[in-house]
Structure 1
Amino acid sequence: MAFSNSSEVRRYIGGIFESAFADDELRAKLSETGIVLRSTFTDPDVDLVVDMGAGAVLPEGASAVPNAVMTMAAEVGNAYWQGKVNLPMAMAKGKIKVDGNVATLLKLAPLSKQLFPVYIETLKADGRTDLLA
């Protein structure tokens, strides 16, 4: 199954960043990167902009200039946050396209692994087992 609309992508994938920023240790590590990441998803189409330095998921239409952009199907993003997608391999196969600071993005990957269980539990708590990979 897939996300039914862009609001669900913002809620679940954007929500995982909000969970990260609520954790003092993770927030500090993410902030150190100073990266502004735009994730452009398709099926459904939505842009999600996260300012790691500010510790915020920006509202739709925010004018922040990203220094890294990741483009992928929302289904790939969903699988990634469940630990089912290897970021470098997905990039090599073209499932995730990256523009900008690739080295910094790859540094974020180990931090994101701490959030996989949180993402999965959020889906389960909301009864969204249809999104489990």
Structure 2
Amino acid sequence: MGLFRSAKEFREVVDRTFEMLSTDPKIGPELAAARTPQRFEFPDLDLVVNVTYQDPPRDGQHLRWVWSDDIDWEPEVELTMDSDVANRYFQGKENIAIALARRRIKSKGNVRKTLALIPITKPMFARYREMVERDYPHLVV
């Protein structure tokens, strides 16, 4: 196990992160407009989460995500990485293109569409860092 104390803690942190992304008045609509359903697998914790856009938005949510492969949409992109790689990414410490080249992230599908989302999500890095510094200091890298 890496920095996360458990799979439950990882899910909690990622749920809070997706919630921030989904409800942000600028980021949420931009991610939804990109229409890029994604599947993330975290083999070190034996977890998978599927994320897609919410159309139309509901209760201020522009995204929806399910911790399962039992979904009613098809992911365009599948990314596999350890939980620590995801944590470093959201802190702005992991470059996706380099991680893909070095195989810290493995991908299937339309990776170009995923790379196009990076500038949209970048403003979230500071908010994620604030959250981990405040609530999960053991995750700071």
Q: Normalization by structure 1: what TM-score?
A: 0.90
Deviation, 1:18, is: 1.2
Q: Deviation at 1:42? A: 2.3
Query: Could you list the per-position Cα deviations for residues 9-63 of structure 1 after superposition, in whole angstroms to 9, with x for gaps in the alignment?
Result: 2221232121011112211110111111111012212101111345112243532
Q: Distance in 2 between matches of 1:35 and 1:14?
A: 18
In structure 1, runs of 5+ residues without a counterpart are: none
Structure 1 runs of 4+ off > 4 angstroms? Answer: none
When the two chains are superposed, the root-mean-square deviation of aligned CA atoms in Å is 1.6
Distance in 2 (CA, whole Å) between partners of 1:19 and 1:28 is 12
Aligned equivalent of 1:85, options 91, 94, 100: 94
Deviation at 1:125, TM superposition (A): 2.3
Aligned to 1:52: 53
Count of residue pairs brought into register by the alignment: 132
**What is the alpha-carbon distance in structure 2 between the residues aligned to residue 111 and residue 11 of structure 1?**
22
* Partner residue, 1:98: 107
Q: Give the letter aligned to residue 52 of structure 1.
A: Y
What letter matches 1:60 in structure 2?
A: S
In structure 2, stretches of 5+ residues that fail to align are: 56-62
Whether 1:16 and 2:17 are equivalent positions in the alignment is yes
* Aligned residue in 2 for 1:31: 32
Q: Is the 8 A contact 1:51 1:58 kept in 2?
A: no
1:129 corresponding residue in structure 2: 137
Q: Return closer, same or farther for 1:9/1:78 CA change in 2, 3 Å cut-off.
A: same
Task: Check conservation: 1:3, 1:131, Cα contact below 8 A.
Answer: yes
Query: Percent identity over the alignment?
Result: 29
